[in-house]
Amino acid sequence: MVLNQLHLVNFRNCSDLVLDFSSKVNLIVGPNAIGKTNILESIYLLATGNSFKAVKNEEMISWSSDLSLVEGKVNGDSLKISLSKENSRIAKNFWINKVKKTRRLFLESFLAVVFRPEEIRVVTGSPSRRREFLDQILSPLDWRYYQALLIYEKALRRRNLLLLKIAEREANVQELFYWDQTLVKNGELIRQKREEFFNFANLFFKDFQKGRLKHLFCRYWPSPITAELLNKKRQEELIKRTTIIGPHRDDFSIISSEFKVENANLGLWGSRGQQRLAVFALKLAQLNYIEEQKKEKPVLLLDDIFSELDRHSRELAVSLLGDYQSLVTALEEPKSLSLPFKTIELG
């Protein structure tokens, strides 16, 4: 899978930009705030349908415009996403070779994995950030997971509202039955898919040829949800007026056996360098998981790794570049990059 060309129109600070890429390593250089990360963001949008940094879709549209276009030439096909302001909402549409497609069909066309140093918060941050990280990995790969997640989140909101009404004697307990069944059915699929990824990741860490990853292990902490457990927790839920079990309460931690402490969570015990290495290890597992699931190599997007990663993590990153089409952002050409690369200068 190769991204040959990218065309951006009114995407953030890019009014009209066309970039041609090498099938190997592409180094995007330029000063801070010139838009290097915006380019990676647009490519990630083509792969997943989502941004890795925008809170709202409208943030990706230039201030002076009501329409933003991102078009990529991938293996000879034209993939395009439009973002347009329509009244009070943002419409997102997908095209392949000028034919409008559903999101599902579009997302089967292109694969990319991004690594950004600020993702260290996956290790050090809240459980909700770790669940979001899992969803970003699994949703583009498995439509059933994506659909189950949407249905689950919608049902969760409705059920929590109903719990509030029941607690205030405005609704009946029997009305929970439908939403309970919806949460149980979709929650089980979400748990299974998350567990599959962690099983894969742990085998990958064990087998990976770079020694430091052998010390890592992902510990998944699922919050099971069944009809029996929901019945058991009902009174507590009515007091708290919220659903207290289910995949929206899942968490995971990255454990290192380098510490002589059982279940030494790197989020608490690790140095900054160890925490960055743990996130990078997860990204390596994600790359290999995609290859196993889709039988294709994704495009690798690396944002400012030379200034942020420690030496060992940089060496790991550079060792990957020859195996994937890679787009790497940097302030200037790094002396440590020995592979041949194409330089794209911005500004």
- pLDDT-wise least confident of 115-119, 276-280, 311-315, 338-342: 311-315
Asked if pLDDT for residue 148 goes beyond 60, the answer is yes
Mutual angle of helices 176-207 and 272-294, in 10-degree steps = 100
Predicted confidence (pLDDT) per residue in 44-95, tens digit: 999 999 999 898 999 999 988 999 999 999 988 999 999 999 888 999 999 9
Specify whether the CB–CB gap between 63 and 154 falls below 8 A: no
pLDDT at 212: 59
Residues 255, 158 within the same domain: yes
Q: Which residues pair with 5 in a beta bridge?
A: 20, 73
Question: Whole-angstrom Cα distance, residue 168 to residue 141?
Answer: 42
32 and 147 housed in the same domain: no
> CB–CB of 112/299 below 8 Å?
yes
Q: How many CA atoms lie within 13 A of 237 on its CB side?
A: 23
Residue 227 has pLDDT above 60, yes or no: yes
**What is the rounded CA–CA span in Å between residue 123 and residue 250?**
14
Residues 6 or more apart from 250 whose CB is under 8 A from it? 127, 131, 134, 191, 194, 220, 221, 222, 223
Same domain, 256 and 135: yes
Q: Last residue of a domain, which of 274, 295, 316?
A: 295
Beta bridge partners of 119: none
For residue 106, pLDDT beyond 70: yes
The CATH number covering residue 150 comes to: 1.20.1050.90
Band (pLDDT 50/70/90 cuts) for residue 209 is low
pLDDT band at 256 (very low <50, low <70, confident <90, very high): confident
**Could you tell me if 222 and 239 lie in one domain?**
yes
pLDDT at residue 277, rounded to an integer: 80
Mean pLDDT of the region 145-149: 96
Q: List the structure tokens of 143.
A: 């439509």
Q: Does residue 61 sit in the same domain as residue 132?
A: no
Same domain, residue pair 261 and 340: no
Counting Cα atoms < 13 Å in the Cβ hemisphere of 220 gives 19
Where in the sequence is the domain holding 217, given as residue range(s)? 120-295
- Could you tell me the pLDDT band of residue 278, with boundaries at 50, 70 and 90? confident
- Distance between CA atoms of residues 283 and 114, nearest Å: 8
Residue 144 clears pLDDT 90, i.e. is over it: yes
Q: Which of 258, 276, 295 is the last residue of a domain?
A: 295
Residues 6+ apart with CB under 8 A from 148: 186, 189, 190
- 139 & 276 share domain: yes
- Element at 149 (helix H, strand E): helix 143-167
Model pLDDT for residues 195-208, shown as the tens digit of each residue: 999 999 999 988 87
List pLDDT tens digits, range 164-191.
999 999 999 999 999 999 999 999 999 9
For residues 137 and 278, state if they share a domain.
Answer: yes
167: left (phi over 0), alpha (psi -120 to 50) or beta: alpha
- Mean pLDDT computed over every residue of the chain: 90
Q: Identify whether residues 97 and 132 lie together within a single domain.
A: no
pLDDT over threshold 90, residue 193: yes
Question: What is the rounded CA–CA span in Å between residue 125 and residue 118?
Answer: 11
Q: What is the pTM for the complete model shown? A: 0.88
pLDDT at residue 27 is higher than 60: yes
Residues 14 and 16: their CA atoms lie apart, in Å, by: 6
Q: What band does 213 get if pLDDT is binned at 50, 70 and 90?
A: low
As separate numbers, helices (DSSP H) first and strands (DSSP E) second, the chain gives 12, 13
Q: 107: Cβ–Cβ under 8 A, 6 or more apart, which residues?
A: 47, 48, 49, 140, 143
How high is the pLDDT of residue 64? 85
Do 247 and 317 reside in the same domain of the chain?
no
Distance CA 242, CA 44 (A): 34
Q: 283: left (phi > 0), else alpha (psi -120 to 50), else beta?
A: alpha
Q: How far is CA 181 from the centre of its chain?
A: 28
Tell whether the model's pLDDT for residue 149 goes beyond 80. Answer: yes
Considering the domain architecture, whether residues 125 and 182 belong to the same structural domain is answered as yes
- Number of domains within the chain: 2
DSSP class of 321? H
Do 221 and 307 sit in the same domain of this protein?
A: no
Angstrom distance (rounded) from CA 22 to CA 226: 50
Establish how many alpha carbons lie within 13 A of residue 155's alpha carbon, considering only the half-sphere containing its beta carbon: 22
Pairing of strands 25-29, 326-330: parallel
Say if CB 44 and CB 112 are below 8 A apart: yes
